[in-house]
Structure formats: structure tokens, C-alpha cells
Amino acid sequence: MRQKVRLFYYKYRCVFLPAVILIWAKTCFSYFIDFDLGVKGWYQHFILLINPMAGTIFLLALSLFAKNAKRGHRYLLGLYILSTLFLYANVLYYREFTDFLTFSTILGASSIFVGGENFITGTIALMNWYDLFYWVDVPFLFMLLRKRNSPLAEADERMFFSKPTGRKALICSLVIFLINLGLAEISRPMLLTRTFDRNYIVKYLGIPAFAVYDGVQTLKSAAFSSVPEKGDLEEVLAYVSGNHAAPNRKMFGLAKGRNLIMIHMESIQQFLIDYNYTDNEGRQWEVLPFLNELYHSPDSISFSNLFTQVGQGKSSDAELMMETSLFGLHRGAAFVKNADNTYYALPHILRCKAGYTSAAFHGNSGSFWNRNDMYQHLGYEYFFDAGDFMLTEENSTEYGLKDKLFFKQSVRYFEHLQQPFYAKFITLSNHYPFPYDENNDSFPQADTSDDSVNGYFATSNYTDQALEEFFNYLKSAGIYENSIIVLYGDHYGISDSRNKTLAPLLGRDEDSWTEFDDAQMKRVPLIIHIPGYGKGFESDIYAGQIDVLPTLLHLLGIDTQPYILMGQDLLSAGKKEIVVFRNGDIITPDYSFIGDNVYDSRTGDMIDDDNEVIYNEMEVLREQAKEQLTISDLILETDLLHYYQPIGLTPVNPDDFDYSRDFQRLKEAAYRAGAKNTSIYYQNNLLSTSILYQTNAPEQQSSAKP
């Protein structure tokens, strides 16, 4: 027997097989350590273990076709490093986004990672010490392949690096893939045709197969994305009119004619509302004292069950939903992929229907998420980005100007807007990895094993302080009373993979934490603050960001019937209580359909899967959700709004807005208005109101560019 083994070894020793085994082992390591794929039972575990095989053999087998072993070894090493790099990039991406890399994300990366510095520091923050495991074998393989006269190299020369072996390896990978696919189909029928969730494809077929699948999908959408087919517009219009929820008469026009100030609060989650952090000495720290007061104010309509529905486009998806009532894409970001589409968005509707001036303010570079392009198409007349502010090393973070300075420096431009205006402010200090800021350390760091969880409360509190300062300014400059101020959290700060670390701080046991709990964490605050209203309330309606636009338009007295919107007015009696996530999961006040499982929304208990009545009922709702997502995708992918002009609106002309001349254009508008000038600056007798702005920011000596 020993002899036989020896003979076998001498005959088949080669570099190819250990290379395959090592990549397989690293992938399995990542499945268990880094990715949370929701694998259940021995059958799914078995599939998980075999799924990296086919793709790995296929890729590395390409090196076997080389002319000779020497060249083949070089190719093998190259492909080996490529596989490792691809796996590792997915690991890092997953740690932040709980998702896998897609071609669209990779292609759109330049707009996300402007300024290499953001990218490098953000990436380093995602690394762990045990990541060495992903790379430690590469130098060994390199050394092994350099030894040209080793027995391994000799065997490779003799029989492995040849076309017939290459062909055999490819066939072998194909057979393994078919077996893998067959086993996967048994566990999850129509895996490739039906799924909305990337997790499933990786769980059943592995990362390389997912990359191929995603590549095919991307090519398909590139090839078929141009124009709507006959009947598409009718289908969409029929859906929209069937989905329309008539406005609540008592609320319609409640804020008519007021300035609209929208505040996009980076990474603020609903669980922070009324939350106190308790430190090791037992002291309580209220994270959001100002927002809590605002949330419970009699002038506020606040929502306790409003969920973020963003996809890979994160912040930009939240903006898209808030301003167009369309969902982000299944893959990539519409802000990047569909920036040149026609939109009838909030700034444009307000301009056409009620003469509003519109401006967006953000302390990061305008190219991030391709905002400078997209905003023109959304109809923003002005966009003040990092280039319009004074950024110093001291007053900015990785993503741009710190919130307190951002609001303060914005005033210089803000006060020149003609009223009524729609102004949007996007905060950024509370962005992952929530770094400790020694200049702003009035709130303690939490004490868990994860630095980003530890910093989250302090950076959220910093944003809260910045908001309070901004509100104080609005009051002292006389803008507050005549405005409606809308604040929303854009998406999670603490990603699913970190929720278990957070659990004890929420009084929860990390071991009992489930995917249902992850879904609950997708609640974000929405506060509609109408100074002087006095009849505010907290609504517990189940809804999502997609529903905000029709709500706001109705409050501003604008009929939404002519528009193509996916959401429904949150204040309407006809609002359906269903939250649709981008991956097709749904939540209703009664049940939550997360992945393959249905949960009781009130208790979090999983419903037995032999309870056909509930499963069938939820399956029907999921189909409806899927229809809504498909309609929204169709609109974006075919640029459908280009073929539909709602009554009372003309299409946006993006070339009207030259953001490089914002300040001059503001002054030109003031000049044109003459005595009818309605800007705050004009009303303040041509004196800047900046002087009224009080901030305790230690970095405040920096000021806006003249």
C-alpha cells in the first residue's frame, strides 16, 4: 500500500493540485470567517465546501495550456495571485457592505473612491490581523516555482503542462460545476433565474461563479438597456395609478409655500433615537439629545417604523428614493449608471410647480457618487461641494468637511438663495469607520471589540450637536418659522456583520441575534418638522424611504397624480403597510419574509415552514414587491421618463446649471430679481447672517472661500 501511495505521489506530484487546494482552503476559510451566508444543515454545508472547486480549477487550468512548464508556472502564479486578490477584495468589501463585488461596483469605484486617500485609509480600516492567512502562501508558491530543478517542476515538465492535461482539467471543472449546480437546484430551484439576492448565488455556486453570473447580467443589461418596448409605458402608468394613495385632506398643503430644508443624516439609525449609552461606570450618555427633542416635538411628525431600502448605491440610493421615489438598482448605483436619464425629481417639480430655487450642499467632492452630474439631471440649480468650502486638515475627515463647519460655512451661500427654496444638506462626519476625533471628544467611545462600533455613538452625537447649531442659526436668521425641515437617516452605520458586537449594548444576547434582527436594524429616523404646527405625532406605520416624496409633495400642496412614483403618501389612509427591500425581502406589521424564512414581526419568532397559509400569503406579497422593483428597474434601465412628460412639467435641461459658477449665478439671480429679491441676505439689509451662526467647533477659524 505504502509503495502504491509513493508511486502515485511520484507520478502525480505537481504544482497545480496544491495550488487548487490552497485557493479552495482560503475560500472555505472566508466562507466561515468573513462571509455570513446563512448556511443551514449538512446539505448546504456540503455544497458550500465543493462550490469553490469548479471555478478555481477552471481558472488555474488556463496556465496548463502554456508552451512549456516554465512559462506555465509564471501564468499559474499570476492566476493564483489574481484569484487571491479577487477573494480578498470581496472579503474587504463584504466587511463594509455585507455584499459581494459586482462589475458595476468595480467600474463605478472611481466615483466612490475619489482621492486615493479615502480609499486607502478606508481599506486599511477594514483589514484584520488574520488576513495574513489569505496571503501567506503566495511567497511560498513563488519560491516553489522558482526552483527549476525540483521534482515537482520535473513532473510538471513531463506531463502536466500540456494541452491534453489542460483540456482534462477544464472538463473536470465543468463536471464539478454541473454536479454543484444540480445539488444547488435541489435545495433552491430556479436559483439563477429567480434570485434577487447575491448571497444565495455565492452560497450555492461560489464566488467565481457569481462573478461570471454577474458579468453575464451586466452585459445583458448593457445590451438591452436602451429604449422601452411597446407597451412598457402603459404598463408602468397602469401600475402607478393602481398604486396611487390619495392625499389626506387635512394634511394636503399644510406646508404650502414654505422653504423646504432637507437634511440627509449620514448613517443615523432609528435605534439611536431615545438611546442612552451606558459607560463602564454606569453613567448614561444620551446620544442624540437634540434630535430626540425634535423627534418628540409637537411640531414634528416622526416615524418609528420607516426603513432604509438602499442597495449598493447606499447614500446615493437614499437620495434617489427621497427625490424621485424610484428604487436604486439591483446592481451598482443609478447615480453612476443612469445619471443621464430624464428625471422629474423633487427640485425640478418644486421649481416648475411653485417657483422654488434649489440647492444641494455637501462637504465632499462633487464627483463622489457622481453627484455633480446626477444633480444637474435631478434639476438642482446649485450644488455647493468641497470646492466651495474651506477645507483644512484640521476641519475635515476622510469624507470632507466636518458637519459643524459644513453647516456654518454653507450659510455664506445659503443666505443668497431666493425664497421659497429647497435646500438639501448632506452630513458626513458620522461615516464609517466612525473615527475618534480628539478635537471633538465630548462623548465617550464605547467599549467593544470593534473600533467602528465604539466610535459610532460619539460621531452620531457630533452630528446631533451640529444639527442643533444649525437649527439655532435658522431661528436667529428668521428662516425657521417659514420652513419645513425634513431629516432622515440614509442607511445603517453599523453593518449586519457588526450587529452582534453591538447587541449587548442594546440589551440583547449576541447568540440569539438573527437575520430578523438585522432587518429590524434597517429602521432609520424620519422627522418632518413643521414649526408652529403643534399637532405633531409619532406614526408607527410600516414604510420606507420610497414613500417620502409623495408625502412631502402633498404637504407642500402639490398633486402627485401626474407623476410616476413608486411610493405612497405616508399620511394617506390608503397607504399599504409593506416595506420592500432591494433584495426582495419584505416586512409588514405582521410578518417579515427575510431570505427563505418568515418571522412574526412582533415577536421575531420564526414561523414553521409547514405553515402553508402564512407562507403562501407572504409569497403573494413578495411577488407584489418583485413587481414594484421590476417596474422601477424598467423605468431606470429604459430611461422611460424620457418618453413621458407629466402635465405641468417640462424636461430638465441639465446644461442650465453650471456648478463651477454657483456663487456668481446666485448673485446674477439676485440682480435679476431687483426689488423682488427674497433672499435672507437681502432681507437682512445686504448684511451677511453668518455672524449669527454660533458654533463651538474648535476648528472654526477656518472660513469659507471668498
Q: What is the DSSP letter of 503?
A: G
SS3 state at 264: strand
CB 437 within 8 A of CB 455: no
Residue with smaller CB distance to ligand GP9, 364 or 583: 364
Instruction: Mark the segment that binds Mn ion (CB under 5 A) among 240-248, 482-490, 640-648, 679-687.
Output: 482-490
Distance CA 613, CA 624 (A): 17
- Of these partners, ligand GP9, Mn ion, none, which one is at the site of residue 378 (CB under 5 to 8 Å by kind)? none
Q: Which residue in 184, 321, 360, 428 binds ligand GP9 (CB under 6 A)?
A: 428
Instruction: Mark the segment that binds Mn ion (CB under 5 A) among 460-468, 476-484, 490-498, 660-668.
Output: 490-498
Query: Which of 398, 392, 324 minimizes the C-alpha distance to 368?
Result: 398
Please, what is the minimum distance in Å from the beta carbon of residue 542 to Mn ion?
23
Restricting to residues 522-581, name those near ligand GP9 by CB under 6 A.
none
Q: Which residue in 415, 468, 490, 517 binds Mn ion (CB under 5 A)?
A: 490
Residue with smaller CB distance to ligand GP9, 98 or 187: 98
Residue with smaller CB distance to ligand GP9, 137 or 464: 464
Residue with smaller CB distance to Mn ion, 52 or 311: 311
- Pull the grid cell for residue 163: 494541452
**3-state percent helix, strand, coil for the chain, nearest multiple of 5:** 55, 10, 35
Please, what is the minimum distance in Å from the beta carbon of residue 400 to Mn ion?
12
Distance CA 310, CA 548 (A): 14
The CA-based angle 210-214-219, given to 5 degrees, is 150
For residue 280, which amino acid is it?
N
Q: Which residue in 155, 426, 549, 636 binds ligand GP9 (CB under 6 A)?
A: 426
Name every residue whose Cβ is closer than 8 Å to that of residue 598 and which is 6 or more positions away in sequence. 591, 592, 606, 607, 609, 611, 614, 615, 618
Instruction: Mark the segment that binds ligand GP9 (CB under 6 A) among 19-27, 248-256, 426-434, 618-626.
Output: 426-434
Q: Which residue in 97, 271, 343, 399 binds ligand GP9 (CB under 6 A)?
A: 399
Instruction: Mark the segment that binds ligand GP9 (CB under 6 A) among 125-133, 194-202, 389-397, 423-431.
Output: 423-431
- Of these partners, ligand GP9, Mn ion, none, which one is at the site of residue 428 (CB under 5 to 8 Å by kind)? ligand GP9
- Of these partners, ligand GP9, Mn ion, none, which one is at the site of residue 364 (CB under 5 to 8 Å by kind)? ligand GP9
The residue count for binding ligand GP9 (CB under 6 A) is 9
CB 142 within 8 A of CB 396: no
Name every residue whose Cβ is closer than 8 Å to that of residue 32 and which is 6 or more positions away in sequence. none
Residue with smaller CB distance to ligand GP9, 266 or 518: 266
Distance CA 464, CA 461 (A): 5
- The residue whose Cβ lies closest to ligand GP9 is 314
Build a one-symbol-per-residue string for 222-261: x at contacts with ligand GP9 by CB under 6 A, - elsewhere.
----------------------------------------
Strand partners, 537: 301
Instruction: Mark the segment that binds ligand GP9 (CB under 6 A) among 63-71, 168-176, 424-432, 525-533.
Output: 424-432
Distance CA 125, CA 495 (A): 14
Please, what is the minimum distance in Å from the beta carbon of residue 319 to Mn ion?
9
DSSP string, 504-525: GGGT--GGG--HHHHHHTTB--
Residue 276 parent element (H or E): strand 276-278
Q: Which residue in 364, 410, 454, 597 binds ligand GP9 (CB under 6 A)?
A: 364
The residue whose grid cell reads 467611545 is 445
- Pull the grid cell for residue 275: 438611546
**Residue 398 interacts with Mn ion (CB under 5 A): yes or no:** no
**Residue 427 interacts with Mn ion (CB under 5 A): yes or no:** no
Residue with smaller CB distance to ligand GP9, 69 or 426: 426
Query: Which of 151, 122, 162, 26 minimizes the C-alpha distance to 81?
Result: 26
The residue whose grid cell reads 437682512 is 684
CB 367 within 8 A of CB 233: no
DSSP string, 562-601: TS--S---TT-TT----EE-TTS-EE-SSEEEETTEEEET
CB 252 within 8 A of CB 578: no
Instruction: Mark the segment that binds Mn ion (CB under 5 A) among 309-317, 377-385, 471-479, 604-612.
Output: 309-317
The CA-based angle 467-471-477, given to 5 degrees, is 145
- Pull the grid cell for residue 394: 484640521
Phi, psi of 187 (to 5 degrees): -75, -35
Query: Which of 416, 376, 370, 422 minimizes the C-alpha distance to 263?
Result: 422
Q: Which residue in 30, 111, 315, 690 binds Mn ion (CB under 5 A)?
A: 315
Sign of dihedral through CA atoms 313, 318, 319, 323?
positive
Please, what is the minimum distance in Å from the beta carbon of residue 528 to ligand GP9?
22
Build a one-symbol-per-residue string for 591-620: x at contacts with ligand GP9 by CB under 6 A, - elsewhere.
------------------------------
Restricting to residues 264-283, name those near Mn ion by CB under 5 A.
266
Please, what is the minimum distance in Å from the beta carbon of residue 472 to ligand GP9?
25
Residue with smaller CB distance to ligand GP9, 431 or 575: 431
Restricting to residues 207-266, name those near Mn ion by CB under 5 A.
266
Please, what is the minimum distance in Å from the beta carbon of residue 322 to ligand GP9?
13
Residue 250 parent element (H or E): none
- Of these partners, Mn ion, ligand GP9, none, which one is at the site of residue 19 (CB under 5 to 8 Å by kind)? none
Residue with smaller CB distance to ligand GP9, 137 or 496: 496
Restricting to residues 431-450, name those near ligand GP9 by CB under 6 A.
431
Please, what is the minimum distance in Å from the beta carbon of residue 335 to Mn ion?
12
Build a one-symbol-per-residue string for 276-315: x at contacts with ligand GP9 by CB under 6 A, - elsewhere.
--------------------------------------xx
Name every residue whose Cβ is closer than 8 Å to that of residue 176 and which is 6 or more positions away in sequence. 50, 53, 54, 57
Phi, psi of 703 (to 5 degrees): -130, 170
Phi, psi of 476 (to 5 degrees): -70, -25
Please, what is the minimum distance in Å from the beta carbon of residue 493 to ligand GP9?
9
The CA-based angle 650-655-658, given to 5 degrees, is 125
- Pull the grid cell for residue 475: 431661528
Restricting to residues 255-274, name those near ligand GP9 by CB under 6 A.
266
CB atoms within 10 A of CB 140: 11
Please, what is the minimum distance in Å from the beta carbon of residue 88 to ligand GP9?
21
**Residue 368 interacts with ligand GP9 (CB under 6 A): yes or no:** yes
- The residue whose Cβ lies closest to Mn ion is 315
SS3 state at 425: strand
Please, what is the minimum distance in Å from the beta carbon of residue 99 to ligand GP9?
12
Residues counted in the chain: 706
CB atoms within 10 A of CB 638: 20
Please, what is the minimum distance in Å from the beta carbon of residue 362 to ligand GP9?
6
Residue with smaller CB distance to ligand GP9, 292 or 316: 316
Please, what is the minimum distance in Å from the beta carbon of residue 365 to ligand GP9?
8
- Of these partners, ligand GP9, Mn ion, none, which one is at the site of residue 459 (CB under 5 to 8 Å by kind)? none
Query: Site residues (CB under 5 A) for Mn ion?
Result: 266, 315, 490
What does the binding site for ligand GP9 look like in residue numbers (CB under 6 A)?
266, 314-315, 364, 368, 399, 426, 428, 431
